[in-house]
C-alpha cells in the first residue's frame, strides 16, 4: 500500500518515463538516472509522455507499491 505523508521525501523524474515499465523497470530509472535509493521509502513521481498519466513508486518494507492514474486530458 502506498503511504503518503509529510515524513516522506518526494522525487520527480524530470524525463519522460516509458509507461509500459512496471515497478522494477521504474526502480531502474530511480537507481541509474536519478541516483537515489529506491528502497528508502521515498516516493518517486513519473509523468507520462502526453502528460495525462502519473505513476508513484514507493518501497514499503516487503515490496513495491505502484500507483497509476490517468486523465482524459493532459495535466
Mean confidence (pLDDT) of the chain: 91
Span 46-66, mean pLDDT?
92
Residue extents of the structural domains in the chain? 10-70
pLDDT in tens, 14-42: 998 889 999 999 999 999 999 999 999 99
Q: Which of 51, 59, 47 is nearest to 3 (CA)?
A: 59
Question: Residue 74 — pLDDT band, cuts 50, 70, 90?
Answer: low
The whole-angstrom separation of Cα 75 and Cα 54 is 9
Amino acid at each position: 500500500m502506498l503511504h503518503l505523508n509529510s515524513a516522506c521525501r518526494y522525487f520527480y523524474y524530470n524525463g519522460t518515463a516509458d509507461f509500459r515499465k512496471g515497478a522494477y523497470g521504474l526502480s531502474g530509472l530511480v537507481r541509474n538516472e536519478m541516483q537515489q535509493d529506491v528502497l528508502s521509502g521515498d516516493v518517486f513521481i513519473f509523468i507520462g509522455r502526453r502528460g495525462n498519466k502519473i505513476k508513484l513508486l514507493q518501497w514499503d518494507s516487503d515490496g513495491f507499491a505502484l500507483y497509476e492514474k490517468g486523465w482524459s486530458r493532459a495535466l
